[in-house]
Structure 1
């Protein structure tokens, strides 16, 4: 049997087809970015009264994760305000996220309904909406993004990690999924969309674009290679160190990504992996709360 994915990929490699798809994606993105812009500006005005350093988390259909993230943030971080922006397709999840944030004193905003079904593109245009409709009006000292399932498990300072550098985050190289030939002299890199933090002054005059650029093998955030990352010297960026934290559940040990020894990344909580299985998710949540968050008594969401 012919592999259907191989056929689709081969069709997409046609430059005319690819150009048409990219044009379609651009139209969808521009339409989405232009929706509810006044709500973003009004939200920015509210945030100006709360500080000058902000970290946005794009939530997606996972109240149990947002519950853990918000508790971890108020427990282990200071100096940078967490802001939850909701990209969920589930109305029930949005309601739960809003209630969690209200109880924990975390600013919250619903994003417009996202037209993209591809996770990378959906995440990318949501981040762009936040940047152009909130951050550009907020003009903070520093800002960035953290995945909703990437939570601090010990005292951690994003401002400290950034220091006087232009950017901080987990550096990623292009993957093997190039649609076209990789330029030998322009391999590129990008900061993972789930951990990227910036001096606003260093980025404010750039045509920022958090969308993926799969033509050169870059996932969400890769669109910033040309306008921003390619202009930076290595010493102007703080790169997070990636390690593994083993978590044992019922004799099954899984290594979870950890950044700079303080940020635990559950990974794929919304759409793939062990954490989408109810029994495992319950036990993983229990472990996280008991090991890092002072016990399950403060948990707001039943799994």
Structure 2
């Protein structure tokens, strides 16, 4: 949240700092309670990926849509030049967890079912999952580089993550808030040696208008000179041949040429267009 000197007089009069402080406290209780939970299979996962110590670890948080994980696993198998993908499953539906685990087993991708997540707000749920994965997986493995990648973000062809943080501690898509900025939690790469011992918190910071990962403004980003950093480049792409219920073209994001479907697990129009998106991904050639 903002410091008192950052609030306008009107915000102070209507008690915005008190409301923000309450949310910070509530979220901290939720975060710590969730991160204290154990996940069956964690020890087996850590034993499987212990060779990633000093390597490059990419974690995606799965959520309810198995085909996304199938496509992402395939893309990693074909195109990753350094990173190993690990799937941490935050799905609420037991049947979906079974499907996603089967996909990972078939693809040879390390999989872990996260503890049941009590948060229902999408940003807090995602924040819980990321915080748990950071504390119990990333910190235990101690990779040279780690990344959090959205489950509906797909590389265009061969890629490497480690070079993105060779000359800076973090890299990703920058999102600006009130007097602050953060990296979007679906495309964020970190040098573990430079940030691994900090109390990272991937909860949102609504008081600063920052989404999932926004609390890391306090722990990481405000200490960096953003003028000296490179960030991911974003543009929006419209699919003129696939319309939503209002007759408008469905859109996706392109981040450093990675295709981000955006909301593919929660927006009804995009869920309904899954076959179309699979055709798009099948047709997209490496480097395109």
| TM-score band, normalised by shorter chain | 0.7 to 0.9
Q: Which residue of 1 aligns with 2:51?
A: 49
Residues 1:266 and 2:268 aligned together: no
Contact kept, 8 Å, 1:249 with 1:283, in 2: the verdict is no
1:135-155: per-residue Cα shift (whole Å, max 9, x none)? 111111110100000011222
Contact kept, 8 Å, 2:39 with 2:114, in 1: the verdict is no
Q: Which residue of 1 aligns with 2:120?
A: 117
Q: Which residue of 2 aligns with 1:297?
A: none
| TM-score, with structure 1 as normaliser | 0.81
Residues 1:162 and 2:165 aligned together: yes
Structure 1: gaps of 5 or more residues: 1-11, 175-181, 294-303
Q: Which residue of 1 aligns with 2:34?
A: 32
Q: Which residue of 2 aligns with 1:231?
A: 223
Distance 2:91 2:136 in 1: 18
1:48-92: per-residue Cα shift (whole Å, max 9, x none)? 125611010000001111111111121222211111100000111
- Judged with a 3 Å threshold, the aligned counterparts in structure 2 of structure 1 residues 141 and 250 are, in CA distance, closer, same or farther, namely closer
Structure 2: gaps of 5 or more residues: 1-13
| TM-score, with structure 2 as normaliser | 0.85
Distance 1:227 1:127 in 2: 15
Residues 1:219 and 2:211 aligned together: yes
In structure 2, the residue corresponding to 1:157 is in which secondary structure? coil
Quick check: 37-46 or 101-110, which moved more? 37-46
In structure 2, the residue corresponding to 1:93 is in which secondary structure? helix
Aligned counterpart for 1:70 among listed residues 73, 76, 101? 73
Q: After the TM superposition, which segments of 4 or more aligned residues of structure 1 sit over 6 Å from their partners? A: none
In structure 2, the residue corresponding to 1:225 is in which secondary structure? helix
- Judged with a 3 Å threshold, the aligned counterparts in structure 2 of structure 1 residues 155 and 53 are, in CA distance, closer, same or farther, namely same
Q: Which residue of 2 aligns with 1:287?
A: 280
Contact kept, 8 Å, 2:56 with 2:161, in 1: the verdict is no
